[in-house]
């Protein structure tokens, strides 16, 4: 009887051990997917979050820095420009943009610009000319007036026409001195364009047969200085 009881007890203990081992294996197997799933979640979030917002910003930066941007080119002056009929029935002309020393202006077919000296002259007779000087900022207008009066006094009596110029291409001159004599007419002018840049003009008109070619268009040309 004792032998039977011992055998039965042994069987019961062995079964309990097997069941316990199986239970531990199932618990371990159930825990492993949970740990693997938890580790994967931060990796996906860290990879996906920054990329959508970064791509458009890079594209916008490239577009703004593109060399094909035509913004600055829009302000460039056309190579040619047509000017209508001038006072006195002078027919219109087309001027060609030419570069001087730090400026540009439209030059007409009967004129030649010496960019180095700043002299705009009548091609047929260079005695008809306008000397162009680009004045620096802070120039002394009173000193320039005194200088102009000294220069023109050799020609004859000096007249002062400074201020608004009616029916004149230049429109307004801060200083406009003029002297007339046997050798023609001399003008000494300080003029500013719309950008506020100041120029000094010394204009010589011998009052010969070519004055009609020179006078109307030299002033129109000077008025285009930029």
Q: What is the pLDDT of residues 38-81, one digit of tens each?
A: 333 333 333 333 444 444 443 333 444 444 443 334 358 999 99
H or E stretch at 6: helix 2-48
Taking the C-alpha atoms of 149, 153, 157 and 159 in order, what is their torsion angle to the nearest 10 degrees? -20
At a CB cut-off of 8 Å and minimum separation 6, what does 100 contact? 113, 115, 118, 132, 134
Nearest of 135, 98, 130 to residue 117 by alpha carbon: 130
- The residue extents of the domains of the chain are 2-62, 73-222
Instruction: Report, as an integer, the average pLDDT of 200-205.
Output: 98
Of residues 10 and 80, more confidently modeled: 80
Residue 100 has pLDDT above 80, yes or no: yes
Gap between the Cα atoms of 134 and 118, Å rounded: 9
**Residue-level pLDDT at 75:** 53
Residue 27 has pLDDT above 80, yes or no: no
Give percent of the chain with pLDDT exceeding 90: 59
**Residue-level pLDDT at 87:** 66
Which CATH architecture describes the domain 73-222? 3-Layer(aba) Sandwich (3.40)
């Amino acid at each position: 009887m004792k032998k039977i009881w011992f055998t039965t007890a042994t069987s019961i203990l062995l079964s309990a051990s097997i069941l316990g081992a199986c239970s531990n294996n199932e618990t371990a197997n159930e825990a492993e997917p949970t740990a693997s799933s938890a580790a994967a979640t931060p990796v996906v979030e860290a990879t996906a979050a920054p990329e959508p917002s970064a791509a458009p910003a890079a594209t916008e930066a490239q577009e703004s820095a593109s060399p094909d941007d035509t913004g600055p080119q829009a302000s460039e002056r056309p190579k040619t420009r047509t000017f209508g009929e001038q006072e006195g029935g002078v027919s219109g002309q087309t001027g060609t943009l030419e570069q001087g020393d730090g400026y540009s202006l439209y030059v007409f077919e009967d004129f030649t610009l010496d960019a180095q000296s700043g002299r705009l002259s009548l091609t047929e007779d260079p005695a008809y000319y306008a000397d162009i000087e680009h004045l620096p900022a802070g120039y002394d207008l009173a000193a320039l007036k005194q200088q102009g009066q000294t220069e023109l006094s050799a020609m004859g009596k000096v007249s002062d026409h400074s201020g608004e110029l009616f029916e004149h291409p230049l429109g307004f001159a801060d200083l406009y001195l003029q002297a007339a004599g046997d050798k023609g007419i001399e003008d000494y002018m300080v003029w500013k364009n719309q950008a506020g840049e100041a120029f000094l003009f010394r204009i010589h008109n011998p009052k010969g047969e070519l004055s009609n070619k020179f006078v109307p268009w030299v002033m129109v040309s000077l008025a285009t200085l930029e």
